[in-house]
Amino acid sequence: MTIPEQNSVDIAIIGAGLTGLLTAHGLKKHGFHVTVYEQETSLTQRRRDWTIALHWALPIFKKLLPPSVVDNLPQAICNPYLDFNPDVECLPCMNANTGEMLFKSPMPGSRRVSRQRIRQLMTEGVDIRWGKRVSAIRSDNDTVQVEFDDGETVRADYVLGTDGAGSKVRDILYRNDEKARAVPSGYYFATAITRHNNAERVEPVHSLHPVTMVFMGTDSVGAIGTMYVDDPEDKSTWTTFWVKIWRKGLASFPDPPSSTRSGQEALAYLKKTTKNGLAPFQNQIDWAPEDGSTVAFIDEMKTWTPFLPFDTHEGRVTLAGDAAHPMLVYRGQGFQHAIVDASNYVDALLKIQAGGDREEIFNAYNAEMVERGAKAVEQSLKEAELSFDPESILKMTMVRRGHGKLE
Ligand SMILES: Cc1cc2nc3c(=O)[nH]c(=O)nc-3n(C[C@H](O)[C@H](O)[C@H](O)COP(=O)(O)OP(=O)(O)OC[C@H]3O[C@@H](n4cnc5c(N)ncnc54)[C@H](O)[C@@H]3O)c2cc1C
């Protein structure tokens, strides 16, 4: 149950992505006064969606949310109508040359959700100020002042930067040090979402695996799966997705110019550079309509390995989620770590409320977050390195140790 606001501690969260919204709920449950500031002007400003597997951190995720949001989680699950069993709760991977099964990574209890839909659910009851882009943070003995692009300044007792991979808050805390900037990883990532309005084009995706199937063994990694299900009995109402990852600089995939990284141009580029793949994957690309209904994006993924120290404004300002440790998508760890950050952040404020020393408690939060985050970022890069060669795939952590939490 969410406790009505009972104390005068003001927390400003910068960024209404999943990390910011989750932390807001966790804090509100304990009666803290939270305001989230988001640069986007509305929930629907960005058209891009992608799927996220909630797995080892799902129990912590649910604990942070109010029951009303937890009860509605099925609305965000890509296909909530499945009979969830070990065959469904896993990530299988096929050899992209032969169609043989390479490995199946068990993900017990996992649910794959739409990022857009779960974000929408998590806005419930959160005070979000849209169209507020943070530009500066200052502090004095008592409070922190957050300045926005539009000239407004607000005061808070604590500020949490959950403003994603290109975090401005991180820049500020590291005093604009070059070393605080996320760097291009050398790996491109494409996502595409299609409503085929044709059950025969959806059936092969579903029958291969009802959640997601991955393909490896060539110079790119691919995946296909179910994105949204309107009528579970009628696959012509379902939407599918595919993703593709490749290394920058390959002759077979010339770097896409920045002008072709979204929309029709992105799809045209992907169709042109994806040929002769295994039928279930190749068909999804060939069948994606070029009438503007396929939502396609291409990005060079960025990463950053966190390090200490940074200016915490005497324990009042810190980071969580992708702002703290932007990593590659391999093994689906990014949001799992963000969930742990959110939970630890709430615990830190509760300890301070109970009389603990602010700087000491946040030094401990930062040290743990940096150590855990740095390991996860580095591990995601190693995983990518191994993913394009049939020999090295078997050395990948997801093959040897699955998708679970690494100690
Ligand atoms: C294709 C894909 C698949 C993934 N799959 C998985 C998976 O299976 N499992 C998993 O655990 N993770 C997965 N991830 C990672 C996961 O999506 C991210 O870790 C998570 O969404 C990060 O959320 P965030 O809130 O920290 O950052 P973001 O979602 O980037 O949110 C940051 C917010 O801050 C706002 N903002 C930015 N700058 C400012 C500013 N100056 N002022 C105010 N607001 C600002 C942005 O507009 C945005 O709304 C995947 C990622 C991708 C791209």
- Which CATH fold would you assign to the domain 185-302? D-Amino Acid Oxidase; Chain A, domain 2 (3.30.9)
Mutate to test the pocket of ligand 1, among 322, 333, 340 (most ligand atoms within 8 A of CB): 322
Q: Which residue has the CA at smallest separation from atom 49 of ligand 1?
A: 17
For tokens 């020999």, what's the residue?
391
115 Cα: distance to centroid of ligand 1 (angstroms)? 9
Strands 183-195 and 295-303: antiparallel
- What pLDDT shows up at residue 7? 67
Separation CA 290–CA 323 (nearest Å)? 35
Specify which residues 14 forms β-bridges with.
Answer: 37, 161
222 Cα: distance to centroid of ligand 1 (angstroms)? 21
**Phi/psi of residue 297, each to 5°?**
-140, 150
Q: Could you give the residue range(s) of every CATH 3.30.9.60 domain in the chain?
A: 185-302
Atom of ligand 1 nearest to the CA of 322: 26
165 Cα: distance to centroid of ligand 1 (angstroms)? 7
- What pLDDT shows up at residue 205? 98
For tokens 């997801």, what's the residue?
398
Least Cα distance to 93 among 302, 245, 235 occurs for 245
Mutate to test the pocket of ligand 1, among 13, 21, 35, 38 (most ligand atoms within 8 A of CB): 38
CATH superfamily name and code, 10-43+123-182+304-400: FAD/NAD(P)-binding domain (3.50.50.60)
| Ramachandran category for residue 351: left, alpha or beta (phi over 0 → left; psi -120 to 50 → alpha) | alpha
Q: Which residue has the CA at smallest separation from atom 11 of ligand 1?
A: 335
Cβ–Cβ < 8 Å for 48, 370: no
The encoded tokens of residue 263 equal 């929309």
Which residues have C-beta atoms less than 6 Å from ligand 1?
14-20, 37-40, 50, 52-53, 115, 132-134, 162-164, 168, 191, 321-323, 329, 332-336, 338
| Ramachandran category for residue 220: left, alpha or beta (phi over 0 → left; psi -120 to 50 → alpha) | beta
Atom of ligand 1 nearest to the CA of 15: 34
Least Cα distance to 284 among 240, 245, 244 occurs for 240
Atom of ligand 1 nearest to the CA of 40: 47
How confident is the prediction along the chain (407 residues), in pLDDT tens digits per residue?
555 566 689 999 999 999 999 999 999 999 999 999 999 999 988 889 999 999 999 999 999 999 999 999 999 999 999 999 999 999 999 999 999 999 999 999 999 999 999 999 999 999 999 999 999 999 998 899 999 999 999 999 999 999 999 999 999 999 999 999 999 999 999 999 999 999 999 999 999 999 999 999 999 999 999 999 999 999 999 999 999 999 998 888 888 888 889 999 999 999 999 999 999 999 999 999 999 999 999 999 999 999 999 999 999 999 999 999 999 999 999 999 999 999 999 999 999 999 999 999 999 999 999 999 999 999 999 999 999 988 899 999 999 999 999 87
Least Cα distance to 242 among 270, 281, 273 occurs for 281
97 Cα: distance to centroid of ligand 1 (angstroms)? 33
- C-beta atoms surrounding 352 within 10 Å: 19
Separation CA 338–CA 347 (nearest Å)? 14
- What pLDDT shows up at residue 1? 52
Strands 144-148 and 153-156: antiparallel
Least Cα distance to 27 among 348, 249, 327 occurs for 348
Which amino acid is present at 193?
I
Atom of ligand 1 nearest to the CA of 57: 11
Q: Could you give the residue range(s) of every CATH 3.50.50.60 domain in the chain?
A: 10-43+123-182+304-400
Separation CA 300–CA 344 (nearest Å)? 30
Mutate to test the pocket of ligand 1, among 13, 18, 40, 318 (most ligand atoms within 8 A of CB): 18
The encoded tokens of residue 34 equal 């939270």
Atom of ligand 1 nearest to the CA of 168: 41
